[in-house]
Amino acid sequence: MRPVIATAELAALLEADPRDRPTVLDVRWRLTGPPASDSYRAGHLPGAVFVDVDSELSSPPGPGGRHPLPDPAALQRVLRAAGVRESHPVVAYDDGDSSVAARAWWLLRWAGHAEVAVLDGGFAAWEAEGRPVTTEVPELAEGAEGDVEVRPGGLPVLDADAAAALARNGVLLDARAPQRYTGETEPVDPRGGHIPGARNAPFSSHVAPDGRWRSPEELARHFAALGVAGDVPVGAYCGSGITASSVVLALEVAGRVEPAALYAGSWSNWSADAGRPAATGGEPG
């Protein structure tokens, strides 16, 4: 399954035999609210199941960051309750720039589930094309619960020390907005700036103004300008590991074979340790 799926292709799949339809996950989320569950109840793709990023696709905030990776057993329960089945396709969408849907994509891939994609353009593109939207909340029939097995390790993960080393010896991409990278502003975490040596690669660069993903060729040029070339090791981080997932996805769309590593704790983990340095300004430092 390609990592990004077009609205027309998903619409056709949803018309197929129920046994062959992909599981659709609505993962709309907003950093400062309001709750995205309200948007889900107001209208969502037919058959889509809402999964909460804060409480179901992350562990509680703590030393590991604001959105630590979920406990594998807990994630397995969430995915099974949503109907995710072994070797069966899953499509995730949000209503922004697909960076939150990329978190769901990344988690499923990390958990060992290969058949997963992000909806190109998300809910906005689906609705703009006049495709069906419903307020009906699906209920799994008895015996139709998912049977997915969560097997962590499908995608590489960095801790703080590994991220620091990668910034020195490879390419570490900071997916946050430029103002947070430079340290001009920091609305959420304890202090501003970036990991020394990291290069700014805002997650918003992966999509066009209409919210659809840029072409593989455009993304390849974008990452080449950031120093991603050949077999150089690459990693990504953001504020708390959500939007950096879209860097990993965008690199795959661009044709990179070796997956980029994700610093799951990201800046929320790094900045909480006063002993770790922070660079400021527009250069890697």
- Catalytic, out of 14, 79, 238, 278: 238
CA–CA distance, 38 with 34 (Å, rounded to integer): 8
For residues 21-41, average pLDDT = 92
What pTM was computed for the model? Answer: 0.96
> How many domains does the chain fold into?
2
Is 150 part of any domain?
no
Q: Are residues 181 and 116 in the same domain?
A: no
pLDDT higher than 80, residue 140: no
How much is the mean pLDDT over the chain? 95
Question: What residues make up the domain containing 35?
Answer: 4-128
- Residue 54 CB burial class (10 angstroms; 0-12, 13-18, ≥19): middle
Q: Are residues 15 and 70 in the same domain?
A: yes
pLDDT higher than 70, residue 143: no
Q: Is 238 among the catalytic positions?
A: yes
Contact 167, 195 (CB under 8 A): yes
**CATH number assigned to the domain comprising residue 235:** 3.40.250.10
Is 135 part of any domain?
no
Is 141 part of any domain?
no
Q: Are residues 54 and 110 in the same domain?
A: yes
Q: Are residues 197 and 236 in the same domain?
A: yes
Q: Are residues 182 and 246 in the same domain?
A: yes
Q: Which helix (H) or strand (E) holds 116?
A: strand 116-119
Is 278 part of any domain?
no
* pLDDT confidence of residue 16: 87
